[in-house]
Amino acid sequence: MKIIHSAWLAIVILAFSPFHFIAGQSLPIAIDGSFSDWTSEAVSFEDGVDATTGNDLLRMSVANDEDYLYIRFEVSDEVVLTDNNDLTLFIDGDHNQLTGKVINGIGAELEIRFGDRDVIFYHGNSQSYPDFSDIKFHSLPTYSQKRFEMAIGRDVKPDGVFSLFIGNQIRLFFQNGTSGDKMPNAGQSFNFNFDNDPTPPYIPIDIQKSSPNLLRLMTWNTLSDGLLDIVRKPHFQRVLAALQPDIITFNECWDMTAAQCTSFMNAALPLPNGQSWYAARLVSGNITMSRYPILQNWVIYPGHRLVASLINLPDSQFNKDILVVNGHLRCCDANSERQLEADAFASFILDAKSPGGVIDLPENTPFVLSGDMNLVGWEQQYLTLTTGSIVNTNVFGNGGLLDWANGPALDVVSLQADQRMAFTWQEAGSQYPPSRLDYHICSGSVLKYQKAFTLQTEIMSQARLNAYGLYANDTGGASDHLPKVTDFVVTELTGAKSVDSPKPSFNIYPNPAETTVSLEWVNPFAATIGFSLESMDGKLIQRWTNWHSAGKAVELIDITRLEAGTYMVKINTAGAISTAILVCVK
């Protein structure tokens, strides 16, 4: 077993004792499911492969900042973290083996049974059953994986009275059922000290468009006809006025007509010169609204909430139209139906790219899938939406790569405008933790983006709320889903010159490298930057995004799991791509 900690990934073989502590590391971790910010400075524990039945616990990493304890862990078999598994986490919050639940030599105050979505807090001789929101629990991804990251609030009082964490010393222990693998094994413990050094502050995202020549797409699940609710309506209106979207995909507009939604938008966000918003409502629940004319609509999969609209973008700015697919896939345990819907989307896009069939698009017409995807089951549904790998080939034909450049479609992962979290749905008291349910998946080779974020007014400063004309309870008062926004760059499609995209040339150091490398460049403007790591033959190894402010920027990449060899690192800023060669040595 190995403890891994330090910038140079020093590996020390240790037999743990109650008196041995691993110094913590403060890191600016973003819970976004990408893991790129889990650098070698995090405290890591390698359990290795054990001869055991069931899911094998392989490794974990732990870090913290001022507000959260962060944990990343990996198992041998793919699971949905919050469904149908026996994975359990125990946290000894006061580092006292005589208090809490005695297990594996620690006294655990907190027990999280992930597969049952149960949280138990032990204090004295009593126990309580808080929900995920009571411990400020966040985790991603929401669909099945072998690797997950999570956060737990450092200041939480799970029962509303007593604090979980007492002092800076804690112990952690994972177990897969009562008879399965343990991490660490019996007789050993993982001890962690919080590092109270401050982390770099998160710079809030300016929610206004940085240029009129960006196309702003927004998606928002309105929670059971929220736009018709007289109490919630003002919350929606203020948020829409602040965000100024060009195209919106609304979900859960069950009883709202297209005419009603048009009237609502004309009042909430009036267009210049008395113009009216355009609406498309082909199925119950989904309404697509656009400042620009809607040329044609399609029901992609009859009986399901999956429709498409071809939108006529102004010729004065754009020489291509855009295909917007409004999707609201089946929720919860409906894995089979959700897979059929994902297959239907992939089949529709492949049809659009080839002559004949239901739809023919001019080559390189951009497309975006926008809406509540409910990806809480198996990863294959996500892979189908991005890579085009169709499962039900007897119904929808063979799959194929969706992007116009014959690669995967781009999943635009966005952090919240005011915190390093990527969830788009939350509900206090729910048995489910906050989740990333709302997506923008696009043809990345022909449609770049400059800024992407999710808005949660409840965590915004009063100064920012005042600046945008918002109230603290606006997003929560409107819906359980948060509005997700992406500003797409259209210069490559149109030749418009209002958005400058200087090429972000960058340095890699050290190079060659073994464990961690730094990318350093001067960012031309504050933006969400896309990164990718590829093999020399162009095979994608990892893709992720992070927000960086204007000026000098640094991004860290953990390459500990790469094999020795030569790789390509790419940075994408508003469509301008820089490439450098990285040599990995072992």
* Amino acid at position 446, single letter: V
Predicted confidence at residue 460, as pLDDT, reads 98
* Angstrom distance (rounded) from CA 125 to CA 58: 33
Cβ–Cβ < 8 Å for 311, 295: yes
Predicted confidence at residue 19, as pLDDT, reads 38
Strand 322-328: give its sheet, edge to edge: 294-299, 306-311, 322-328, 367-372, 438-442, 410-411
Predicted confidence at residue 537, as pLDDT, reads 67
Question: Which domains, and CATH codes, for the chain?
Answer: 2-193 (2.60.40), 214-494 (3.60.10.10), 506-584 (2.60.40.1930)
* Angstrom distance (rounded) from CA 219 to CA 439: 8
* Angstrom distance (rounded) from CA 492 to CA 129: 54
Cβ-in-10-Å burial (0-12, 13-18, 19+) of 31 comes to buried
Predicted confidence at residue 524, as pLDDT, reads 66
Element (H, E) at 396: helix 393-396
3-state secondary structure of 272: helix
* Angstrom distance (rounded) from CA 339 to CA 392: 8
Phi, psi of 37, rounded to the nearest 5 degrees: -90, 0
Tokens of 273: 């010169």
The one-digit pLDDT tens for each residue of the chain (586 residues) are 333 333 323 233 333 344 345 566 789 999 999 898 898 889 999 997 876 678 999 999 999 999 999 999 999 999 999 999 999 999 999 999 999 999 999 999 999 999 999 999 999 999 999 999 999 999 999 999 999 999 999 999 999 999 999 999 999 999 999 889 999 988 888 999 999 999 989 999 999 998 888 999 999 999 999 999 999 999 999 999 999 999 999 999 999 999 999 999 999 999 999 999 999 999 999 999 999 999 999 999 999 999 999 999 998 877 789 999 999 999 999 999 999 999 999 999 999 999 999 999 999 999 999 999 999 999 999 999 999 999 999 999 999 999 999 999 999 999 999 999 999 999 988 999 999 999 999 999 888 898 999 999 999 999 999 999 999 999 999 999 999 999 998 644 333 333 344 445 788 878 888 888 888 878 766 667 888 888 876 778 888 878 777 677 888 898 888 888 788 888 876 556 778 888 888 7
Predicted confidence at residue 295, as pLDDT, reads 96
Long-range interactions of 289-298: CB distance < 8 A, separation 24+: 289/247, 289/248, 289/250, 289/261, 289/262, 289/265, 290/246, 290/247, 290/248, 290/324, 291/246, 291/247, 292/246, 292/247, 295/321, 298/348, 298/358, 298/359
pTM of the model: 0.82
Predicted confidence at residue 522, as pLDDT, reads 80
Q: Are strands 214-221 and 106-108 parallel, antiparallel or unpaired?
A: unpaired
Predicted confidence at residue 316, as pLDDT, reads 80
Output the DSSP codes for 136-175: T-EEE-SS-EEEEEEEEETT--TTSSS-S--SSEEEEEEE
* Amino acid at position 74, single letter: E
Q: How many helices (H) and strands (E) does the chain have?
A: 8, 36
Q: Which residues sit opposite 372 in a β-bridge?
A: 328, 438
145: Cβ contacts below 8 Å, ≥ 6 apart? 78, 79, 81, 379
* Angstrom distance (rounded) from CA 244 to CA 265: 11
Alpha-carbon separation of residue 209 from 115, 215, 217, 487, 574 (angstroms):
41, 9, 11, 7, 13
3-state secondary structure of 259: helix
In 3D space, the residue among 375, 545, 322 whose CA is nearest the CA of residue 453 turns out to be 545
The structure tokens 């195209």 sit at 247
* Angstrom distance (rounded) from CA 191 to CA 547: 33
- Break the chain down into helix, strand, coil percent, rounded to 5: 15, 40, 50
Predicted confidence at residue 18, as pLDDT, reads 41
Q: Are strands 565-573 and 527-535 parallel, antiparallel or unpaired?
A: antiparallel
Tokens of 182: 């343990």
* Angstrom distance (rounded) from CA 189 to CA 185: 8
In 3D space, the residue among 298, 441, 286, 280 whose CA is nearest the CA of residue 368 turns out to be 441
* Angstrom distance (rounded) from CA 92 to CA 502: 50
Cβ–Cβ < 8 Å for 362, 333: no
